[in-house]
Structure 1
């Protein structure tokens, strides 16, 4: 089953109110309207894209170690996925799919990191529960996601809906701003230029990991 098929199956179960995600019927329109508004805002088109230089970052991983994009790029291309948080089932399914692709990514000379506004404790939980072989970096106050053009503020009605679902982002992220990154995936070349970008304001839609392989193969051929 592909990643998107898994995401679609989860979405169907969520909308049907199957446990453990017993969303009340009035919450679903709020979530769908917020996604539609974010799409209509055009923010995704203004985010960093292929052909542009990627912002540099140095962030702590789940164990408190500093991970530098420039240091990683010294060894090969870097895959960066922006991750909403351990509370997001769609994001966890994506991380699991990327983890399954990790041997192929490494064979093509690439490394991978996930970047999330959540606290290191929640990043440790994400690594543990998804059995990840790569780091989840904490992005305090969403500064790195903002540099990539991905950070947005949740509308008030969606904040209340998330609270009802016990997704208290202010606590998860140790940040009262109630902001998140749009889900995004990048391949950054060794020269710091983005080779591949996929930004989607609809968090239920994610590209397959295999879509990156031709880009990485081409990058490997140039070395």
Structure 2
């Protein structure tokens, strides 16, 4: 697994978790600022886990809203949808977002999960000012994740990954549903 000393400078240099690998055991913070063990969540039912850059990111907000539109279909296929960001709990969703998501959001405040699954890279200095303008009260994480979507079984094993260093490109709801249908067979 990736350690802090090995955090790449850019998104293209990450070394992400692979299909068949086990997710790490980490604690996250829920919207009530309470610690939750990720494996406890995953054991509940198969999971579509989204790792996003933060509530400050308009591409992330758009993607989270698009996933919200297919969440019921995801649930009908037997999966739960959860999302994780390195943002502080208060910054998980942008206040500019009109639509709130119905699935669970979690904070990875020390970026332990995103580092351990190999999708973290150093936050570009050129982006720090923008993040600070969107989250004036919050801290700016030293690392950020490449937007990631994992499908995980109840044993914590990765069954599918969609990881793209181009933060503007995200998996569509329709493609995700096709993947989930295929995994169910």
The interval holding the TM-score normalised by the smaller chain is 0.7 to 0.9
2:37 aligned to which of 68, 71, 82 = 68
| Counterpart Cα distance in 2 of 1:76 and 1:220 | 13
CA contact (8 A) 1:63 1:124 kept: no
Task: Give the secondary-structure state (helix, strand or coil) at the position aligned to 2:82.
Answer: strand
CA RMSD in angstroms, aligned pairs only:
2.5
Is 1:178 the counterpart of 2:178 in the alignment?
no
Structure 2 match to 1:87: 56
Unaligned runs of 5+ in 1: 1-36
Unaligned runs of 5+ in 2: 1-9
CA contact (8 A) 1:116 1:137 kept: yes
Structure 2 match to 1:104: 73
Aligned residues: 175
Deviations 1:68-127 (A, max 9, x none): 332233332111111111111000000001000100011011111111111111126569
Is 1:204 the counterpart of 2:147 in the alignment?
no
CA contact (8 A) 1:96 1:130 kept: yes
| Counterpart Cα distance in 1 of 2:120 and 2:85 | 11
| Counterpart Cα distance in 2 of 1:127 and 1:184 | 23
Task: Give the secondary-structure state (helix, strand or coil) at the position aligned to 2:110.
Answer: helix
2:86 aligned to which of 117, 135, 150 = 117
Matches within 5 A, 1:1-223: 38-39=11-12, 41=13, 43=14, 46-123=15-92, 125=94, 129-156=98-125, 158-159=126-127, 162-163=128-129, 165=130, 167-168=131-132, 173-175=138-140, 177-221=141-185
Name whichever structure is richer in helix by fraction: 1
CA contact (8 A) 2:61 2:97 kept: no
Bigger Rg, which one: 1
TM-score in terms of structure 1 length: 0.69
Report 1 or 2 for greater relative contact order, CA contacts < 8 Å, sequence distance ≥ 6.
Answer: 2
